[in-house]
Amino acid sequence: MVDPFLVATRFALFAILMVTVGLAAFNIYALDKAERNEGAAFDARGTLRVLSTLGIVASVIGMLMVAAAMDGVGILSVRGEMIWMLISETDIGIAGIVRICALILALSLCLTNRLAPTALSASVGLLTSIALASLVWTGHAGATEAAIGHLHRVSDIVHMIAAALWLGGIAGFALLLRAPTDGHWGNRLFMTHRSLDHFSKVGTVAVALIIFTGLINSSILVGPDRIRLLLTTTYGALLLAKIVLVGLMLALAAQNRWRLTPQLAIDLENGSTVDSVAALRRSMVLEGSAALLILGLVAWLGLLEPPASML
C-alpha cells in the first residue's frame, strides 16, 4: 500500500523544484536584461526566495518521512538515531542533505542584493538543478545497479531538467498573462509574444530530450519482454496515463506555437487582443494542469515496483 502522504510530499518536491529551475531559466532566455532588471514579468528575487523556502520545507519533511518509514513510526515519533543513520549511511540521506544545502544556498542568495537579476537567476537555477537532480536517488534510477544504473541516473536527471524547462515556461507565461496592475498591459503583451517565440526554440529542445530520455528510462524500467505487464499492473496503467497526458501537452504546445502565438501577433497589430489573450490563458491552464497531473503520476510511480523488477 503506497503512503498517500509520501506521494504528496514527492509531488510537492517535484513541482516546487521544477518550477524554480524553469522560472530561473525563463527569466534568462525569454526576457532581455532591462526587463529582468525591472522585474517586468515577475519579481525574480522574491519569487525565487519563496520557492526556495518551500523547497527546503518540503525536503525536510520528505527526509523525516523516509526516516520514520525506516523506523516504523510516525513522522513525529522518529528517533534522532534513525535520522542520523539515514543521512550518514544511505545514498538517499546523502542526496537529501545535498538537496537541502543547495536550497539553503539558493535562499541565501535571494536574501541579499549582491547579485543582479541575471546572475541571481543563473545561480539559483544551477543550485536548484542540483537539488532537482538529487531526487534521482529517491526513485528507481537510484536503485538501478551496474553500468546501466549510471545511464539510468544520467538519463533521469536530463529528463527532469528538460521537463523543468517546459513547466517553468508555462509558469512564466502564466505570470506574464496575469491581470495587469501597473498600467503597462500593452507592453507586457508585446513582451509575451516575443517570449513565446524564444520559448518555442527552448521548448523544442526540451521536448526532444524528454522523449529521448523517456524512451531510455522506460526501456530500463519496463524491458522489452515485460511490455504486456503495462496492461495488467498499476504501474503500467499510471505510465500509460502519463504518456497520454504528455501527448495532450504536446498538442497544446503545438497549438500555442502554430495558432495562438501568430494570432496574438495579428491582434497586437489590430489593437484588439482580448480573444487571443483569453485563448492563451485557457491553453496555459490546460497545459499546466496536465503537467501537474503528470508530476502526481511520477510521484506515485516512483513508489511502485516497475515491470522490469517483477518475476
What pTM, to 2 d.p., does this model score? 0.92
Average pLDDT of the chain to the nearest whole number: 90
CA 113: distance to chain centroid? 26
Reported as a pLDDT band with limits 50, 70 and 90, residue 181 is: low
Q: What pLDDT shows up at residue 185?
A: 61
With a pLDDT cut of 70, the percent of the chain lying above it is 95
Reported as a pLDDT band with limits 50, 70 and 90, residue 300 is: very high
Q: What pLDDT shows up at residue 180?
A: 64
Reported as a pLDDT band with limits 50, 70 and 90, residue 308 is: confident
Pick the residue with more confidence: 1 or 274? 274
- State pLDDT tens for residues 19-41: 999 999 999 999 988 888 888 88
- State pLDDT tens for residues 53-98: 999 999 999 999 989 988 888 888 899 999 999 999 998 999 999 9
Residue 288 DSSP class: H
What is the rounded CA–CA span in Å between residue 272 and residue 264?
9
Contact 83, 51 (CB under 8 A): no
Among 174, 103, 167, smallest CA distance to 134 is for 103
- State pLDDT tens for residues 245-271: 999 999 999 999 999 999 999 988 888
- State pLDDT tens for residues 40-49: 888 999 999 9
Residue 184 pLDDT more than 70? no
Among 101, 65, 99, 95, smallest CA distance to 83 is for 65
| DSSP tally for the chain: helices H, then strands E | 12, 0
- State pLDDT tens for residues 226-248: 788 788 889 999 999 999 999 99
Reported as a pLDDT band with limits 50, 70 and 90, residue 182 is: low
Residues 6+ apart with CB under 8 A from 218: 239
- State pLDDT tens for residues 114-160: 899 999 999 999 999 999 999 998 877 777 777 788 899 999 999 99
What is the rounded CA–CA span in Å between residue 166 and residue 203?
6
What single-letter amino acid sits at 270?
Answer: N
Longest dimension (CA), the chain: 68
Cell numbers given for 306? 516497475
What single-letter amino acid sits at 11?
Answer: F
Residue 183 pLDDT more than 60? no
Q: What pLDDT shows up at residue 179?
A: 66
Among 294, 291, 299, 295, smallest CA distance to 7 is for 299
What single-letter amino acid sits at 209?
Answer: L
Residue 16 pLDDT more than 90? yes
